[in-house]
């Protein structure tokens, strides 16, 4: 068995781009789905409105609060299904957040107070919730708990996609290198001494092969054993943490599958 390889192309807290090779489309899609829908994150689940004089309905504000990214300590919180409280709700599986603001002011995530800011709080302080005018008030109690993208969109950890790694088959020397380079909107193509070179930004969608002269000089296609992955965090987790958590999910599912098969 050949071990898969990973080459990091770009890495920040919010975005990760890497090349995954020596694998197949089935595993690539499985990893993508795990990053999007199987990684647990913290999000506001229940919202109790004590007072809301703003121009927005309770449901609109609740939706905004639910979609607000929260940063949290992954070592502290458990899923309600795995918690000792059996889903009733405790400090191990949920946290209380409070919002109490008077107008005139623009209410942002910075105004939300956490029961324990060291374990959970809004990720971006400048996230706008609503604007309050003179005499208006907004007082809300809310609880946040863990969930996955399969449960609700507010629990989606990341945007994740991939494309096949481009490979070039060149049969003849390219005579119109300038035209070929110009047609690529991503600037991923270079022609040097009639030889075509394709970078990682090539998305296989432009008409390079049809433009190259003479006709049939080159052929660009995707390598179905090598993929360029893009992971963009839209949650309180870092992009790298999301990929590692997705891998752990796949490991757990594999072990459970082996267990079930062995029991047959």
- Please report, for the chain, the start and end positions of each structural domain, with discontinuous segments joined by +: 5-38+159-231, 42-151
Going by C-beta distance under 8 Å and a sequence separation of 6 or more, which residues neighbour residue 225? 21, 22, 23, 24
Give the mean pLDDT of 200-224: 80
Give the mean pLDDT of 181-188: 75
Residue 1 scores a pLDDT above 60? no
DSSP 109: G
Across the chain, mean pLDDT equals: 90
Give the mean pLDDT of 83-108: 89
Tell me what pLDDT residue 2 has: 58
Tell me what pLDDT residue 69 has: 96
* DSSP string covering 2-24: PPPEEEEEEE-SSEEEEEEES--
Which residues face 11 on adjacent strands?
Answer: 16
Q: Between 25-37 and 239-262, two packed helices, what is the crossing angle to 10 degrees?
A: 110
Q: How far apart are CA 204 and CA 50, in angstroms?
A: 54
Q: How far apart are CA 73 and CA 181, in angstroms?
A: 48
Q: How far apart are CA 140 and CA 127, in angstroms?
A: 16
For residues 247, 248, 250, 253, the Cα torsion angle rounded to the nearest 10 degrees is 180
Q: What is the pLDDT of residues 157-168, one digit of tens each?
A: 999 999 999 888
Fold topology of 42-151: RNA Polymerase Alpha Subunit; Chain A, domain 2 (2.170.120)
Give the mean pLDDT of 22-43: 95
Tell me what pLDDT residue 175 has: 81
Range scoring the smallest mean pLDDT among 62-71, 94-103, 209-218: 209-218
Q: What is the pLDDT of residues 34-48, one digit of tens each?
A: 999 999 999 999 999
- What CATH number has the domain spanning 5-38+159-231? 3.30.1360.10
Cα distance between the two ends of the chain: 26
* pLDDT higher at 42 or 222: 42
Q: What is the pTM of this model?
A: 0.86
Q: What is the pLDDT of residues 98-138, one digit of tens each?
A: 999 998 999 999 999 999 999 999 999 999 999 999 999 99
Fold identical between 5-38+159-231 and 42-151?
no
Most confident of 2-6, 35-39, 182-186: 35-39
């Amino acid at each position: 068995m050949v071990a898969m390889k990973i080459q990091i192309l770009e890495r920040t807290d919010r975005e990760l781009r890497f090349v995954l090779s020596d694998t197949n489309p089935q595993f690539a899609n499985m990893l993508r789905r795990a990053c999007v829908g199987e990684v647990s994150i913290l999000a506001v689940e229940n919202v109790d409105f004590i007072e809301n004089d703003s121009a927005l309905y309770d449901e609109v504000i609740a939706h905004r609060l639910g979609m607000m990214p929260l940063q949290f300590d992954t070592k502290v919180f458990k899923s309600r299904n795995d918690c000792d409280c059996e889903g009733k709700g405790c400090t191990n599986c949920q946290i209380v957040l409070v919002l109490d603001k008077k107008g005139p002011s623009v209410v942002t995530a910075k105004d939300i107070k956490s029961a324990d800011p060291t374990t959970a709080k809004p990720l971006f302080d400048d996230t706008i919730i609503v604007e309050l005018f003179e005499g208006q008030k907004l007082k809300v109690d809310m609880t946040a708990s863990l969930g996955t993208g399969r449960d609700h969109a507010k629990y989606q950890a990341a945007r994740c996609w991939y494309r096949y790694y481009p490979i070039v088959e060149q049969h003849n020397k390219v005579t119109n290198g300038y035209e070929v380079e110009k047609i690529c909107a991503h600037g991923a193509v270079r022609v040097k001494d009639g030889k075509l070179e394709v970078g990682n930004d090539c998305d296989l969608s432009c008409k390079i092969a049809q433009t190259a002269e003479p006709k049939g000089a080159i052929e660009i296609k995707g390598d179905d054993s090598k993929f360029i992955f893009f992971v963009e965090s839209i949650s309180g987790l870092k992009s790298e943490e999301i990929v590692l958590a997705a891998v752990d999910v796949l490991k757990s599912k594999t072990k459970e599958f082996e267990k079930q098969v062995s029991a047959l």
